[in-house]
């Protein structure tokens, strides 16, 4: 765990092969998102490629900051990693509570609201990465 805190790029770069493997295994499956009367459909392979590219950019960003000896905030890094990897885990757990046998509309709509809020916090949490990079650059300039 201490190595991951000292080298934050490892967790992102090491997760890329896992994400691509899952995308290749589920190549025939699609993710459909229904928003009112509109369906957004994306295959798992293009989605895993997109997520892998995003993780690659984030991992390279953290690696570059380490190579230029910038002091990143551990609190911001831990929050970013927690939202990035904990968010999908929380969404997956909440989806297991959907009631399909007994259509309880009110219960399922509340679960959908919870999932939407988790995804929104997860997406907004990605703003922590550039904030941490800027923090590291400013801290390096003021301390050097």
Per-residue pLDDT at 121: 95
Mean pLDDT of the 1-25 span: 86
Average pLDDT, the chain: 87
Q: Among candidates 63, 58, 72, 61, which has minimal Cα distance to 139?
A: 72
- Do 78 and 60 fall within a single domain? no
Q: Specify whether 51 is located in the same domain as 92.
A: no
Range of the domain at 121: 71-144
Q: Do 142 and 77 share a domain, yes or no?
A: yes
Q: How far apart are CA 96 and CA 99, in angstroms?
A: 9
* pTM (predicted TM-score): 0.82
Question: Which ranges of 1-144 does DSSP label H, i.e. alpha helix?
Answer: 2-6, 9-25, 44-67, 74-95, 105-125, 128-143
Same-domain pairing of 78 and 90: yes
96 band by pLDDT with thresholds 50, 70 and 90: confident
> Do both 22 and 87 map to the same domain?
no
Distance CA(130)–CA(45), nearest Å, equals: 27
pLDDT, residue 28, reads: 87
């Amino acid at each position: 765990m201490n190595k991951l805190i000292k080298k934050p790029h490892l967790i992102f770069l090491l997760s890329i092969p896992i994400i691509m493997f899952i995308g290749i295994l589920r190549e025939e499956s699609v993710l459909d998102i229904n928003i009112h009367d509109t369906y957004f459909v994306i295959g798992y392979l293009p989605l895993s490629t997109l997520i892998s590219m995003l993780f690659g950019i984030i991992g390279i960003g953290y690696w570059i900051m380490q190579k230029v000896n910038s002091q990143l905030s551990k609190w911001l890094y831990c929050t970013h990693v927690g939202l990035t990897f904990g968010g999908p885990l929380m969404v997956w757990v909440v989806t297991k509570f959907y009631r399909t046998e007994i259509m309880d509309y009110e219960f399922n709509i509340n679960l959908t609201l919870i999932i939407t809020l988790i995804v929104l916090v997860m997406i907004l949490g990605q703003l922590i990465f550039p904030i941490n990079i800027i923090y590291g650059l400013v801290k390096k300039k003021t301390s050097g």
